[in-house]
Structure 1
């Protein structure tokens, strides 16, 4: 009994001395997705440590000496000021609730001289003034630090503001100049920018309308009246906005597929869509993560975001309930989320996330609209380590970040940002071979290309003299050899040697004639028997092998998927299926479209047309391993030229073998492609029905055997 008492005392003492949150349970999985969209499980980045805002008591209106419970009702927004004071837009109660950093009630702001009505947004500036998006009253109010009304911003009176614009403020921020940036309900024009006096300045940070191929088709084909009857296609409206300590404005939008999060400078330029540190290309990022696509095909819908003191962006997803965290450049760090069961409530699982904020300690606070409370999350040891390493990397202190990234990699060998951080550190130190390997492992093409450039440059600097000597001496030897053997007997006999008359050899050599004279060459296959099954199959076999080599051996710079396992059997099957589909479809169309070619002519000609894969594809694969992205235009020119050459050969094959005009050839190819598509759909349906039929007969068999 004495031992049990002692043990219980030790446990209680340890519980009092152990850091808060150390025993926190995380009822969710934390993940990361690498450059190849592979899902990686990681240690928890944040641990849930508590719930705030549930114990709100106010004086009883009937008896001020008593306290009555006054819970939050459908709260919509959350803001944490520089002193870590927590402000909640308690929409259902038409008030602002202020809590201290520990969650204790400080005061209730309801602006008695001009009562609030369903406020949905809150912002505190550096002076302590309080700005409220008073949605129900269609205004923004400015209060001083004591909660006294200073000014209200109603709908601006400006000729530049469309009459159709609805002024329903839902979120807002204020910059250091006192300019207001207001997100309005359904405001597809962007943020409404007002000066400190409430005058309209402009719309800021608007999204662009997606313009699809179908939209372009409608614009060309439809009359003006038909086009005007179409439902207007508008850009997504900004759902929320925040601002960082540097004055950069961040917006989040639900109804767009790309660029859901924007980081805007004073000119309205999105810094997340600019060049990466090592990249020359401009990319439009996609934000909002998911582990696996839901069965109902629900897509992420980001509805609020916060920026911590390190510049990391954390956004909440109102649909899938995930929390997504990115660094200041928009690169994914973590995302996490648990099963928000309707029948239970768990610490750490937010049922209806409506707002998110962070304090000076980089802790996260997520407002749960359904549970009417705020959940607090604290960085774990792993999360803090990643933040420390990433902050050094973002500041360009790559060598200082190396030891931290090494520790992160020790804790999780599959966490790609650690590999990328070590790659940048190696590049900075001049360890280009190591950097090249690490960039490839991380799937970062530009960094890999830059490191390889340096490796190649060092090799040329080291071996340039030897290389030039070999070239000069080799050229001189060839010149001397030709000069002194030009009139020799054995050279004469070689030039006059009898040419091979073996049919297969002649047919294989005919492919070179086709490369120079395609129409005459394909005509010779049709009428002069210059092609055969054996020669066609040989060319087709080597073309298929060349295609497989291109897919599997092209350098990582131009073929990032090489990092993943390339299944050559799948590649070969894809090549053969497309070719067989083409041959069958083209023959069928030619038969009913006044064509003269036989099935074997179509097969032989199509096989010969694949020859560029051999004479261009293999050399291109070889030289790609010595090229960087700086020579990407050369590589793309050669690769595109290869496919254009194959297409032209197929065009000339149809024209020559079917005896078509140019217009008839084009129509034949178009109908052949349509037929290929129809055959593919029919085969897919057939296999699907076959599986259903098999399951049906199996079910019948089970019924019979059971009875």
Structure 2
């Protein structure tokens, strides 16, 4: 009894130590100062990885022939690869084609018969029909222009019982879905994204961030006096830092806090992001207590549920597949090509990446390496149901990077879809994918039972028949001996 009490005390002490450790800053080294390309093993160790992207080109306003950019804050790329650069300090939008040639500059529009301009705009979104929405932050409004850059409507300070009278509407990011509902991220709004109808009327908040509670501070709050509690930090939800929307209308959003700092919101505002990778998507999972976790400030969603996030703290771009597996990372802070000073936005042009640096007023163009192209296509092939192609592409990625553990799981999934459950189990075991291993095992067991059902039933019936014959024989033998049988 004494021994069991000691064990309980030891467990309680360990839990308290863990909680204190978490509150004091978290994990240790993540290979800080190492190369810009790496991955994480199943065990959370930093392992070497080939570069998936390489910086190839540096663009600025002067080289583009539009004059120097001044604190640009956002990018948007349309489906036909037209590029919109929000040059905030110059209160304009520069439009480029796929070859980075200027096609238009939007710096004003007609409003009530007069020329109107922007003031320190911070966010831009372009629809499939080339309608342009601008979060005109300085003017405290969202401006909606059509494909000819003519005014459609202006969304300004909403009137609602859900908002306090002193609410100051400062939109900084905006997206629109196919039903023409507008979603706005605004300064100081902790209740989630602001949803507006197609007519511009405020309807509700969606996707409020969960409150992040420090367990140690919560413990002390329970023990403290009322006066002490008044001096402590209030538990309030965190603001979103950016958002994007995919072709299906799901909103992907980032927040600056560590934890579930990437979310995928459905129409009801519920988070449906899949987190079935070895670690939750969140940027770096290993870091020093001095530097702290990643601060995600932008997100870009491409086809096949692949999405990328930008970490402003270390200037890195992390990419994940739809299940939440970490695919690759590139970028960093510095002065050479491929590094940034103050990265603020990322976008894809095809498979190339554009990264906007606010301080330098530059756009860095990254292109895929053979490894990056192969891995991207492997994920896309599996998503499209092309199992055979995905299998071969994942094998190629493993040949280039044996440390990419989730590729073994990808091969297993491809084989699983083809019905080779026993072989799939082998790959799932190698990648320590317990969930899919169990699934493959159950299917393999059913397959074995189905294939050998006749043999199994023959054996069972034969054993039952032998058992009955033995019993009958023993009874007959006992009768001959005169032994009574009950």
Report the TM-score when normalising by structure 2.
0.80
Partner of 2:59: 52
- Residue 284 to residue 211, structure 1, CA distance change in 2 (3 Å): farther
Match of 1:289 among 279, 284, 293: 284
In 2: Cα distance, 1:135 partner to 1:452 partner: 55
Deviations 1:32-53 (A, max 9, x none): 2233213232222122221223
1:92 aligned to 2:72? Answer: no
Q: Which has the higher contact order (CA 8 A, sep 6+)?
A: 2
1:78 aligned to 2:75? Answer: yes
Q: 1:261-272 counterparts in 2 under 5 A? A: 261-272=262-273
Partner of 1:111: 108
Q: 1:465-544 counterparts in 2 under 5 A? A: none
In 1: Cα distance, 2:166 partner to 2:228 partner: 23
Using the TM superposition, give the Cα deviation of residue 470 of structure 1 relative to its aligned residue in structure 2, in angstroms. 8.8
In 2: Cα distance, 1:237 partner to 1:114 partner: 30
Match of 2:345 among 352, 355, 359: 355
In 1: Cα distance, 2:273 partner to 2:176 partner: 21
Partner of 2:381: 392
Bigger Cα Rg? 1
Q: Any conservation in 2 of the 1:272–1:285 contact (CA below 8 Å)?
A: no
Q: 1:155-234 counterparts in 2 under 5 A? A: 155-163=157-165, 165-214=167-216, 217=219, 221=223, 227=229, 230-234=232-236
Q: Any conservation in 2 of the 1:165–1:187 contact (CA below 8 Å)?
A: no
- Residue 438 to residue 322, structure 1, CA distance change in 2 (3 Å): same
SS in 2 for 1:114: strand
Q: Any conservation in 2 of the 1:29–1:41 contact (CA below 8 Å)?
A: no
Using the TM superposition, give the Cα deviation of residue 230 of structure 1 relative to its aligned residue in structure 2, in angstroms. 4.0
Match of 1:333 among 324, 327, 334: 327
Using the TM superposition, give the Cα deviation of residue 395 of structure 1 relative to its aligned residue in structure 2, in angstroms. 3.2
Q: Any conservation in 1 of the 2:356–2:362 contact (CA below 8 Å)?
A: yes
1:30 aligned to 2:37? Answer: yes
Partner of 1:239: 241
Q: 1:135-146 counterparts in 2 under 5 A? A: 135-146=137-148
In 1: Cα distance, 2:221 partner to 2:463 partner: 62
Using the TM superposition, give the Cα deviation of residue 261 of structure 1 relative to its aligned residue in structure 2, in angstroms. 1.1
In 2: Cα distance, 1:467 partner to 1:299 partner: 60
In 1: Cα distance, 2:328 partner to 2:124 partner: 27
In 2: Cα distance, 1:249 partner to 1:239 partner: 13
Partner of 2:366: 377
SS in 1 for 2:104: strand
- Residue 473 to residue 210, structure 1, CA distance change in 2 (3 Å): farther
Using the TM superposition, give the Cα deviation of residue 158 of structure 1 relative to its aligned residue in structure 2, in angstroms. 1.5
In 1: Cα distance, 2:274 partner to 2:369 partner: 30
- Residue 72 to residue 455, structure 1, CA distance change in 2 (3 Å): same
Report the TM-score when normalising by structure 1.
0.56
In 1: Cα distance, 2:433 partner to 2:104 partner: 51
| Structure 2: unaligned runs, 5 residues or longer | 1-33, 110-114, 471-486
In 1: Cα distance, 2:228 partner to 2:412 partner: 56
Using the TM superposition, give the Cα deviation of residue 95 of structure 1 relative to its aligned residue in structure 2, in angstroms. 1.7
- Residue 426 to residue 370, structure 1, CA distance change in 2 (3 Å): same
SS in 1 for 2:363: strand
Using the TM superposition, give the Cα deviation of residue 169 of structure 1 relative to its aligned residue in structure 2, in angstroms. 0.6
In 2: Cα distance, 1:218 partner to 1:294 partner: 26
In 2: Cα distance, 1:310 partner to 1:424 partner: 16
Q: Any conservation in 1 of the 2:125–2:134 contact (CA below 8 Å)?
A: yes
1:449 aligned to 2:438? Answer: yes
Using the TM superposition, give the Cα deviation of residue 469 of structure 1 relative to its aligned residue in structure 2, in angstroms. 8.7
CA RMSD of aligned residues (A): 3.3
Partner of 2:413: 424
SS in 1 for 2:315: coil
- Residue 310 to residue 379, structure 1, CA distance change in 2 (3 Å): farther
**Larger fraction in helix:** 1
Match of 1:251 among 246, 250, 253: 253
**Larger fraction in strand:** 2
Partner of 1:312: 306
Deviations 1:431-483 (A, max 9, x none): 33322221121121111222233445566775966699999999xx9xxxxxx
Deviations 1:113-141 (A, max 9, x none): 22211111011112222111111111111
- Residue 470 to residue 164, structure 1, CA distance change in 2 (3 Å): farther
Q: Any conservation in 2 of the 1:259–1:284 contact (CA below 8 Å)?
A: no
1:298 aligned to 2:292? Answer: yes
Deviates most, 461-470 or 410-419: 461-470
Partner of 1:120: 122
Using the TM superposition, give the Cα deviation of residue 173 of structure 1 relative to its aligned residue in structure 2, in angstroms. 0.3
SS in 1 for 2:241: strand
Partner of 2:403: 414
- Residue 371 to residue 220, structure 1, CA distance change in 2 (3 Å): closer
Q: Any conservation in 2 of the 1:133–1:171 contact (CA below 8 Å)?
A: yes
In 1: Cα distance, 2:309 partner to 2:242 partner: 10
Aligned residues: 431
- Residue 471 to residue 300, structure 1, CA distance change in 2 (3 Å): farther
In 2: Cα distance, 1:57 partner to 1:337 partner: 23
- Residue 284 to residue 267, structure 1, CA distance change in 2 (3 Å): farther
| Structure 1: unaligned runs, 5 residues or longer | 1-26, 59-68, 478-707
- Residue 365 to residue 468, structure 1, CA distance change in 2 (3 Å): farther
- Residue 453 to residue 166, structure 1, CA distance change in 2 (3 Å): same
Using the TM superposition, give the Cα deviation of residue 216 of structure 1 relative to its aligned residue in structure 2, in angstroms. 5.3
In 2: Cα distance, 1:397 partner to 1:165 partner: 51
Using the TM superposition, give the Cα deviation of residue 357 of structure 1 relative to its aligned residue in structure 2, in angstroms. 1.0
Partner of 1:580: none
Q: Any conservation in 2 of the 1:35–1:444 contact (CA below 8 Å)?
A: no
Q: Any conservation in 1 of the 2:122–2:137 contact (CA below 8 Å)?
A: yes
Q: Any conservation in 1 of the 2:297–2:311 contact (CA below 8 Å)?
A: yes
In 2: Cα distance, 1:70 partner to 1:456 partner: 68
- Residue 452 to residue 198, structure 1, CA distance change in 2 (3 Å): same
In 1: Cα distance, 2:324 partner to 2:370 partner: 22
